[in-house]
């Protein structure tokens, strides 16, 4: 066993005091015996010497521990990310003051790094806020600590209402090293990507929600656009000479029957060209001129344009943020569809309302409803005998350009369909 192996500084100092005291007092006793001092003198002087050594050791022991205690206080402040507190050194020179100077340099360096890190985190959160995809941040517990404004695509309330909620309370579960929605309908719509990052020494989890449905729909739109472009080109190239030839022959035709046949050919050629042009409008890019619109004025104009339709208005909000021309087109289309699906003379409800994050428009009819809701927004699909499958596709295109959502559901307690349109409120981001 190593006699000079000490587990602590305190043990080393106490051992040094005991050994030093024994050696000094022992030497003093030896000197007293050599000098033939009396036992009383040796005892008294030895006690006094031991007392002086004890006082000196006590002073040195406290000063040494105070130096370490002050350094520990400084390190504790650094550990708590407080880089502005500095401990006063117990000595004004030597290794202790050198150690404290190094601590001060370390604090200054860490404060600079923390300042840069905080700036980076601030910029990251600013960037997250500007993204269109919902992004959620959970702490190590895990509890929701932050979400961007796109959170309302997942839930209709502001994210602050769900602050400190666990992923389970938000309907999420961790399966196979991936997060997913427990609800099948949402799970089919959203793909969740997640990663971990460290903030203020604690682990956080970042979840990004990617709307697969929108991506798939965009792919479908691109495919339809390509198909319509090819078909339109071929039909136009075929119909143009046929139409010109029919018009030319109709001038030379002698019989009424021939003229009537050629006129029908010309008319059908024009109809097919118009038909292709209308389908091409589904995917045409357009620019919105959004502004704050008076709901009362919109309702009044809709009533004026649809005088033959009985409208029951419920206005629970004053304004909406939208493009006046395009939102009017959407409402006219949806209300006409509702009227055509209802019995003659039945009332169509038109409701304007608002919640914390969105303006809501509802069109409710008492018609026959839909047997298949899945294909209603598919181009070329129509439930009407003479329908062309353009209207609802065009409406969804307009609403999604507004960063809104349009949805159709069959009424549960009554007949008919409810068309729900959700538009974002005016914010600095969309203004």
Confidence grade of residue 352 (pLDDT, cut at 50, 70, 90): very high
pLDDT for 212-263, tens place per residue? 876 666 666 666 667 666 766 677 777 778 778 777 777 777 677 877 887 8
- Which residues are CB-neighbours of 152 under 8 A, at least 6 positions away? 158, 357, 358, 424
In the prediction, which pLDDT does 391 show? Answer: 65
pLDDT for 20-77, tens place per residue? 888 888 898 898 888 888 888 888 988 888 899 889 888 888 888 888 888 888 888 8
In the prediction, which pLDDT does 155 show? Answer: 86
| Topology of the domain comprising 132-213 | Beta-Lactamase (3.30.450)
Q: What is the mean pLDDT of residues 256-282?
A: 73
pTM for the model: 0.47
Indicate whether 316 pLDDT > 80. Answer: yes
> Helix, strand, coil shares of the chain as percentages rounded to 5?
50, 20, 30
**If you search the block for the tokens 């087109």, which residue do you land on?**
329
| CA–CA separation, 207 and 415 (whole Å) | 40
User: In a 3-state reduction of DSSP, which class is residue 200?
Assistant: coil
Q: What distance lies between CA 21 and its chain's CA centroid?
A: 71
Note the residue count of the chain.
431
Q: Which of 11-15, 62-66, 119-123, 172-176 has the lowest mean pLDDT?
A: 119-123
Q: Which residue has the higher pLDDT, 163 or 385?
A: 163
Confidence grade of residue 168 (pLDDT, cut at 50, 70, 90): very high
Kindly state the tokens that stand for 350.
């038109």
Q: Which of 127-141, 158-172, 261-275 has the lowest mean pLDDT?
A: 261-275
Architecture of the 291-424 domain: 2-Layer Sandwich (3.30)
Q: What is the mean pLDDT of residues 137-141?
A: 91
Kindly state the tokens that stand for 354.
């608002």
Please provide the average confidence, as pLDDT, over all residues in the chain: 81
pLDDT for 61-118, tens place per residue? 888 888 888 888 888 887 777 777 777 787 888 888 888 888 888 888 888 877 777 7
Indicate whether 382 pLDDT > 50. Answer: no
In the prediction, which pLDDT does 385 show? Answer: 44
Q: Which of 390-394, 402-406, 416-420 has the lowest mean pLDDT?
A: 390-394
Q: Which of 54-58, 164-168, 338-342 has the lowest mean pLDDT?
A: 338-342
State how far the alpha carbon of 200 is from the alpha carbons of 113, 118, 207, 299, 350, in Å: 12, 9, 19, 53, 51
- Which residues are CB-neighbours of 161 under 8 A, at least 6 positions away? none
Q: Which of 33-37, 44-48, 125-129, 176-180 has the lowest mean pLDDT?
A: 125-129
Q: Which of 156-160, 186-190, 367-371, 377-381 has the lowest mean pLDDT?
A: 377-381
In the prediction, which pLDDT does 283 show? Answer: 56
Q: What φ, ψ does residue 223 adopt, rounded to 5°? A: -65, -45
- Which residues are CB-neighbours of 26 under 8 A, at least 6 positions away? none
Residue 181: enclosing H or E segment and its boundaries? strand 178-181
Q: What is the mean pLDDT of residues 415-420?
A: 87
Indicate whether 403 pLDDT > 60. Answer: yes
| Residues 98 and 90: beta-carbon distance below 8 Å | no
Enter the DSSP assignment of 166: -
Q: Exposed/middle/buried for 388, CB within 10 Å: 0-12, 13-18, 19+?
A: middle
In the prediction, which pLDDT does 389 show? Answer: 42
Q: Nearest 5 degrees, angle CA 385-CA 306-CA 391? A: 40
């Amino acid at each position: 066993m190593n006699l000079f192996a000490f587990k602590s500084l305190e043990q080393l100092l106490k051992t040094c005091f005991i050994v030093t005291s024994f050696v000094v007092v022992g030497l003093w006793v030896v000197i007293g015996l050599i000098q033939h001092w009396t036992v009383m003198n040796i005892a008294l002087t030895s006690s006094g010497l031991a007392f002086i050594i004890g006082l000196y050791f006590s002073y040195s022991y406290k000063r040494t521990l105070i130096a370490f205690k002050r350094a520990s206080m400084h390190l504790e402040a650094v550990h708590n990310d407080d880089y502005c507190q500095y401990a006063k050194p117990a000595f004004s020179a030597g290794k202790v003051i050198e150690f404290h100077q190094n601590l001060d340099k370390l604090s200054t360096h860490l404060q600079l790094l923390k300042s840069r890190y905080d700036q980076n985190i601030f910029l990251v959160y600013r960037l997250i806020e500007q993204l269109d995809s919902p992004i959620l941040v959970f702490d190590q517990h895990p509890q929701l600590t932050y979400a961007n404004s796109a959170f309302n695509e997942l839930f209709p309330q502001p994210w602050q209402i769900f602050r400190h909620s666990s992923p389970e309370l938000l309907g999420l579960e961790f399966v196979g090293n991936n997060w997913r929605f427990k609800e099948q309908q949402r799970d089919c719509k959203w793909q969740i990507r997640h990663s971990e990052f460290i903030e203020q020494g604690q682990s956080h989890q970042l979840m990004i929600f990617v709307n697969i449905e929108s991506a798939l729909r965009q792919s479908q739109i691109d495919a339809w656009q390509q198909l319509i472009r090819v078909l339109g080109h071929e039909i136009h190239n075929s119909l143009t000479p046929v139409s010109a030839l029919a018009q030319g022959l109709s001038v030379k035709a002698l019989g009424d029957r021939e003229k009537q046949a050629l006129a029908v050919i010309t008319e059908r050629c024009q109809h097919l060209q118009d038909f292709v042009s209308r389908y091409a409008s589904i995917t045409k890019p357009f620019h919105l001129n959004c502004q704050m619109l008076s709901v009362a004025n919109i309702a009044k104009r809709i009533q004026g344009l649809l005088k033959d339709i009985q409208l029951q208005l419920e206005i629970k909000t004053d304004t909406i943020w939208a493009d006046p021309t395009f939102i009017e087109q959407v409402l006219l289309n949806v209300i006409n569809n509702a009227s055509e699906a209802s019995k003659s003379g039945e009332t169509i409800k038109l409701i304007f309302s608002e919640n914390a994050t969105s303006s809501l428009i509802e069109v409710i009819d008492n018609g026959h409803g839909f047997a298949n809701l899945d294909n209603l927004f598919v181009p070329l699909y129509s439930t009407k005998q003479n329908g062309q499958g353009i209207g609802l596709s065009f409406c969804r295109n307009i609403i999604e350009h507004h960063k809104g959502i349009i949805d159709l559901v069959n009424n549960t307690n009554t007949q008919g369909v409810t068309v729900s349109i959700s538009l974002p409120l005016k914010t600095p981001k969309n203004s």
